[in-house]
Amino acid sequence: MTFGVALPVAFAQDKSVRPGINESFQNPNVEEFIQRFEKEGRDAYDHRHAIVEAMQLKPGMNVADIGAGTGLFTRLFAPHVGPDGTVYAVDIAERFVKHVEDSAAKLGLKNVVGVLGDAESARLPPRSIDVAFICDTYHHFEYPQKMMASIHEALRPGGQVVLIDFHRIEGKSSDWVLNHVRAGQDVFAKEIESAGFKQVDQKPDLMKESYFVRFEKVAPAERTSEPFRRLDRNQDGRLTKDEFAGPLFDQIDANKDGTITAEEDRQFVRRRAGGEAAAPRIPESIRAELDVPYAGTDNPRQKLDLYLPRQLKTDKPLPVVAFIHGGAWQAGDKRGGLGTVASFVESGEYAAVSIGYRLSSEATWPAQIHDCKAAIRWLRANAKKYNFDPDKIGVVGPSAGGHLVAMLGTSGGVAELDGRLGDHQNESSRVACVVDLYGPTELLKMGGSHDNPNSPESKLVGGTLQENQEIARNASPTTYVTKDDPPFLLIHGTKDFTVPFNQSELLFAALQQAEVEATFVPVTNGGHGNFGTPQVAERMRQFFDKHLLGKDIAVSSEPITAGAAKQ
């Protein structure tokens, strides 16, 4: 948050709070753990049905079983959320995840999805779950701040965390608990609250040896900034100059009473944020022109950002790498594109652009592709002014942006998708090459929660997906694949639970059948982006160098293994 810029940097928790506590889970013997976890005498097992009832699950909910282990609660939750809901079985042990998937399949539970997490992240997509269930697992979090931050991000607004863990009371708890569990309920509750939650319920009589506490994700308007919570040592909801002394104090203390209240902190954050995405830091080697209108309107979504090299490596017109942001067609901002395209521009061999477009809350399909095509036409019309090569425009986008760049690639020449925006109707909206990063390609075959009325795909087409099949096909890149499409590079994580891996498989198969040049690179164990390896950027660079600079380069389709970044 902006507040944090002028205050001491928050504790980043680079060190584990309990090193080695998860060693036994690195290569677990599943059968042995079944005997340990699923037996009479274990508090959570003995009260399993009461726990499920207390969860208050409803059909259609998405639940994450964090530290699912052998899958006891995953299997119990699945019937309660029904076929329209999903239970994500999250664990750091691949053997546990595979066991849960296999055992669920044997029981015919088709709504169970295994997720391989790590010590710092649950690796769940943003706003994908309604409840996170943490049973006898929180004390195993080596990096609780980072883990709870990932869970906070994964929860939808108003989402809940249910915490079950052992009572740890000196003089009462067993030696095993005192030695194994690092802290008691009060400490764990404060840690969770500091991650952006508030306690809303507890059931003190539910179990004998453990506690059941429910937390709710705090809305941004209610939540104080992280520095405020950290500096408020006595937890009284206000800061004095004894707790925080600095030049910002008087700016935040609106009524000048010598204290900063929680509301004053929130107001300050809102003032500094301005409700808009922060302007990117532009490297000195790049000249930027921001918020350039491309559609002849004053709509802020119909603007683009131009990035041009200050030092050119060639006298020839520059090829253009055009970035289109993701965000489920509901969020995101063109300002995020600089991180992807900066290295191209800094090389002196490329110009770049980041394109904004109308979100589904403002206009449904085909408004989004109309905007993107208008932006491509604008680039061609202004090629001489900015020294662009109008025949060398490549596009790249992640997720929803991947969907839109794939549409640009396959729908060149499809008149009904061109739209009538802008002053450059005589220019072509075709592109020279496409990098589709894990984007949807065939909406009617995404399945599961994507068919729900409130899914991003349903919001995009203006109604429940399966009830609007004609529009869904119209919005699917696979519909328009023809032999004259430009070269494609498809990159997709094999463990992507936001956009199914099969979406890239479907588009790749259609391109191959039409004899379009296409390269498909799976990212083994990769989730929905943030693959944690430079190899993805390297493949993209090779692809653009080949097709936009004309270099004699082979772009490998060899799978890439995901690194340790959050998925």
Q: What is the pLDDT of residues 127-183, one digit of tens each?
A: 889 999 999 999 999 999 899 999 998 998 889 999 999 999 988 999 999 999 999
Residue 189: what are its φ and ψ, rounded to 5°? -65, -40
State how far the Cα of 213 lies from the Cα of 163, in Å rounded to an integer: 5
Q: Tokens standing for 189?
A: 């509750």
Which tens digits make up the pLDDT trace of 389-438?
999 999 999 999 999 999 999 999 899 999 999 999 999 999 999 999 99
Phi, psi of 352 (to 5 degrees): -145, 160
SS3 call for 388: strand
pLDDT at 508 over 60: yes
Residue 361 forms part of a structural domain: yes
Determine contact, residues 288/346, Cβ cutoff 8 Å.
no
Where residue 275 falls among pLDDT bands split at 50, 70, 90?
very low
| Residue 317 belongs to domain with CATH number | 3.40.50.1820
On whether both 202 and 234 belong to a single domain, the answer is no
DSSP string computed for 407-464: HHHH-TT-GGGT-S-SS-TTS----SEEEEES----GGGS-GGGGSTTSHHHHHHTS-
CATH number of the domain residue 153 falls in = 3.40.50.150
Helix 94-106 and helix 72-81, axial crossing angle in degrees, nearest 10 = 50
DSSP state of 202: E
Whole domain around residue 202: which residue ranges?
Answer: 23-217
212 and 310 assigned to the same domain = no
Dihedral of alpha carbons 338, 344, 349, 351, sign: negative
For residue 11, being part of any structural domain is answered with no
Q: Which helix (H) or strand (E) holds 199?
A: strand 197-202
Residue 18 belongs to some domain of the structure: no
Token pair belonging to 477: 């890149």
Cα–Cα–Cα angle for 560, 402, 286, nearest 5°?
Answer: 85
* 318 and 456 assigned to the same domain: yes
- The answer to whether residue 203 is domain-embedded is yes
Q: What is the pTM of this model?
A: 0.58
Residue 395 lies in a domain: yes
For residue 504, tell me if it sits in a domain: yes
What lies within 8 Å, CB to CB, of 38 at 6+ separation is: 45, 70, 72
Whether residue 371 is found in the same domain as residue 336: yes
Q: Are residues 345 and 464 in the same domain?
A: yes
> Within this chain, do residues 421 and 440 fall inside the same structural domain, yes or no?
yes
3-state class (DSSP) for residue 397:
strand
End residue of a domain, out of 191, 217, 243: 217
- Say if residue 107 is in the same domain as residue 149: yes
Q: Given 234, 251, 273, which residue is the final one in a domain?
A: 273
Average confidence (pLDDT) over 497-507: 94
What is the predicted pLDDT for the residue at 331? Answer: 82
77-127, pLDDT tens digit by residue?
Answer: 999 999 889 999 999 999 999 999 999 999 999 899 999 888 889 999 888
In the predicted model, is pLDDT for residue 4 greater than 60?
Answer: no
Q: Give the pLDDT of residue 7.
A: 26
Say whether both 312 and 376 belong to one domain: yes
Residue 7 lies in a domain: no
Q: Both 211 and 254 in a single domain?
A: no
The structural domain count of the chain equals 3
User: In the 8-state DSSP scheme, what is residue 207?
Assistant: -
- Residue 278 maps to a domain: no
Q: Do 232 and 188 lie in a common domain?
A: no
Same domain, 335 and 429: yes
Q: Are 184 and 243 found together in one domain?
A: no
pLDDT classification of 371: cutoffs 50, 70, 90: very high
Question: Which residue, among 212, 190, 188, 209, has the nearest Cα to 201 in the 3D structure?
Answer: 212
Predicted local confidence at residue 235, as pLDDT: 66
Would you call 45 helix, strand, or coil by DSSP? helix
Q: By three-state DSSP, how is residue 534 classified?
A: coil
In sign, the C-alpha dihedral spanning 281, 303, 540, 391 is negative
Which pLDDT band holds residue 229 (cuts at 50, 70, 90)? confident
- Give the CATH number, domain containing residue 259: 1.10.238.10
